[in-house]
Amino acid sequence: MRILHLEPYNYSKEKLSSLRKDCFLQEENFKIQEELQLHLKNYQYDVIFTRLGLSLDKQILSLQRELKYVVTPTTGLNHIDLNYCNDNKIKVVSLKGEIEFLTTVKSTAEHTWALLLTLIRNIPVAFQQVKNDIWERHQLMADELDGKTIGIIGYGRLGKIIARYAKAFDMSVLVNDTREIEDEVKEGEKNVSLEVLLRNSDIICLMITYEERNINFLDYSKIQMMKDQVILINTSRGEMVNEDALIQALKSKKISGVATDVLKNDSIWNGKLPIVPEIIKYAKKNDNVIITPHMGGYGKVSIKKTRDFITDKFLNQIEK
């Protein structure tokens, strides 16, 4: 079995050795999509271990006549053409649905909370002033989480962790999910309709999964339901928020601040922005937006756990 590995630098020597045991392992670190495409025109593989930053779309996958597995250490799968894989009997091995294991992976939840604290405490602006030799706090009056209401949209693994963090900060917690979650909601949390959550939350945390039905989930109408001066945190996927509606709400002060780790189509960006999204253009001129480059899950412990797990999951499948 021939394996192309596109992220060997984030896998332990032990796990790479386990892949080499009975397979031919080709390790590559392509920087751009065109490099991957050229390589796959010339070489055939049974398995591709992929990563965010490279897209396995129909054009790429159709070059591989013998491909049987695509392996990705992610829950989100919008960097892979799932319809093509399904039609061509290519099995996608991922972390999606691995609920028990994923409860031990907390990097994205920690990053979500870091974004929130960084935004409301004006930390980037404050540090920039200090670097410019300015020691002045009067324009840096911060908001506080104590007593605020946080609305968590998506009460899955990450949503539950964020709810715990919020209660530790003495916040009121509203949660919403498309699933029936009444039996999962803990003390100090309240399961409410989406409209109630939007109308009553001071801070809204978007934690929903990537699905086509969730594209532009937060649109003009939902944003208008929100409280004035609400804060929005997004560590789900950029496609879940209508960017035009978001910018309009920022300009009108309907939304007072945004912190996001994700932007539309960023799962296939690698190294340099192919275009400059309007939200980044806005952020360059305004201090109420914080954007990080889809790094929520990029914690040392979580990277090791997820890469070890996905390797073992793949090996267990081919041994059956």
Q: Is 221 exposed, middle or buried (0-12, 13-18, 19+ CB in 10 A)?
A: exposed
How far is residue 168's CA from residue 164's CA, in Å, rounded to a whole number? Answer: 6
Helix (H) or strand (E) holding 27: strand 24-27
Entry pTM: 0.90
Report pLDDT digits (tens) over 247-278.
Answer: 999 999 999 999 999 999 998 898 889 999 99
- Which residues of the chain are modeled with pLDDT < 50? none
Give CA separation, 267 vs 56, 83, 195, 238, in Å: 11, 17, 30, 9
Side chain identity at residue 289, one-letter code: V
pLDDT on residue 319: 76
Report pLDDT digits (tens) over 63-79.
Answer: 999 999 999 999 989 99
Does residue 273 contact residue 111 with C-beta atoms inside 8 Å? no
Specify the long-range contacts of residues 307-312, CB closer than 8 Å, at least 24 apart.
Answer: 307/7, 307/10, 307/11, 307/12, 307/15, 307/73, 308/12, 308/15, 309/73, 309/95, 309/98, 309/101, 310/71, 310/72, 310/73, 310/93, 310/94, 310/95, 311/11, 311/15, 311/18, 311/19, 311/71, 312/15
pLDDT on residue 22: 86
How far is residue 168's CA from residue 254's CA, in Å, rounded to a whole number? Answer: 28
Report pLDDT digits (tens) over 141-152.
Answer: 999 999 999 999
